Amino acid sequence: MVYDNGLDVFSFGVMGENLDDIGHSMANFTRLRWPDLDPQLIVDVGCTIGHNTVPWKQAFPSAEVHGLDAASPCLQYGHARAEAMGVPIQFKQALCDALPYDDNSVDVVFSSMFLHELPTPQIKAFFDEAHRVLKPGGVLINMELPPNDVLGAYDAFYLDWDCFYNNEPFYKDFRDLSYPKLCTDAGFLAADFFQATMPRYTYVSEAEFTEASGADATFDADTGRLSDTITWYAFGAQKSGAAT
């Protein structure tokens, strides 16, 4: 309950009506980018109270959608929240380095504002797990802060400020990583890496979102920075279609 209300205050109200714009944006980006995907199982890792999990079920009504987190109180609240919204989501307590799925069994592994909470070995373990559980052709998509090397010095420092002064110890280490290398180290092919920037899905028209999210990623002070003109950043990879 505190998180549900506090996030809206912390983020100056830019996250959408139900704190769910990131979920809507990522789910609809996925729908537009991989129109043949037809996912049967979508997993949101580090889902907290499921506010960005719910939109995946709304974008892909025939898919089973799971929200995973280490914290059971968040999952209990998230379950009640999703039920109250009339959206069926399965919530499970699980760690990102031991995803409770068989090899090649998941269509989409999603995370949102999650990787920067982890020490680097855990991020790598999560990517290994994502690659393991994804079906060939499945997609790993992470909404995150953009890496340091695409921003100017001031904007890069601005995003790392919390690392030094607001108890976010892993922000900078994460943003200094090579995101393509994170993917290839886990087994994804370099050619299957993607990154994208996009406006908020629930704030713009379908046509504007489709055009912007389909273009090459562009980076400026609005990328991932709380403002009325914020743009989301996402990166990940599609698992090679070849059987592994």
Ligand X SMILES: C[S@@+](CC[C@H](N)C(=O)[O-])C[C@H]1O[C@@H](n2cnc3c(N)ncnc32)[C@H](O)[C@@H]1O
Subset of 194-233 contacting ligand X (CB under 6 A): none
What are the b/e assignments for 99-118, b being 16+ CB within 10 Å?
bebeeeebbbbbbbbbbbbb
231 DSSP assignment: B
* Longest distance between any two alpha carbons in the chain, whole Å: 46
Q: Which is nearer to ligand X, 112 or 195 (CB)?
A: 112
The Cα–Cα gap between 101 and 149 comes to 34
Does 112 interact with ligand X (rule: CB under 6 A)? yes
Q: Which is nearer to ligand X, 30 or 48 (CB)?
A: 48
The Cα–Cα gap between 223 and 18 comes to 21
The phi and psi torsions of 237 (rounded to 5 degrees) equal: -160, 155
Could you tell me the smallest distance in angstroms from the CB atom of residue 156 to ligand X? Answer: 20
Total residues at interface with ligand X (CB under 6 A): 16
Token pair of 33, please?
Answer: 């980018």
Could you tell me the smallest distance in angstroms from the CB atom of residue 88 to ligand X? Answer: 19
Please count the other Cβ atoms lying within 10 Å of the Cβ belonging to residue 56: 30
Q: How far is CA 196 from the centre of its chain?
A: 12
Does 91 interact with ligand X (rule: CB under 6 A)? no
The Cα–Cα gap between 90 and 92 comes to 7
Does 141 interact with ligand X (rule: CB under 6 A)? no
Does 113 interact with ligand X (rule: CB under 6 A)? yes
Subset of 27-66 contacting ligand X (CB under 6 A): 46-48, 52
Residue of 71, 177, 189, 217 that binds ligand X (CB under 6 A): 71
Could you tell me the smallest distance in angstroms from the CB atom of residue 68 to ligand X? Answer: 6
Could you tell me the smallest distance in angstroms from the CB atom of residue 3 to ligand X? Answer: 8
Q: Which is nearer to ligand X, 98 or 190 (CB)?
A: 98
Q: Which is nearer to ligand X, 80 or 215 (CB)?
A: 80
Does 95 interact with ligand X (rule: CB under 6 A)? yes
Does 96 interact with ligand X (rule: CB under 6 A)? yes
Residue of 114, 127, 219, 233 that binds ligand X (CB under 6 A): 114
Q: What angle do CA 31, 10, 121 make, to 5 degrees?
A: 65
The Cα–Cα gap between 56 and 138 comes to 15
Q: Name the one range near ligand X by CB under 6 A: 108-116, 146-154, 186-194, 211-219.
A: 108-116
Give one word for 220, left, alpha or beta, with left for phi > 0 and alpha for psi -120 to 50.
beta
Could you tell me the smallest distance in angstroms from the CB atom of residue 110 to ligand X? Answer: 9
The residues of the shown chain that bind ligand X, judged by CB under 6 A, are: 22, 46-48, 52, 69-71, 74, 95-96, 112-114, 117, 122
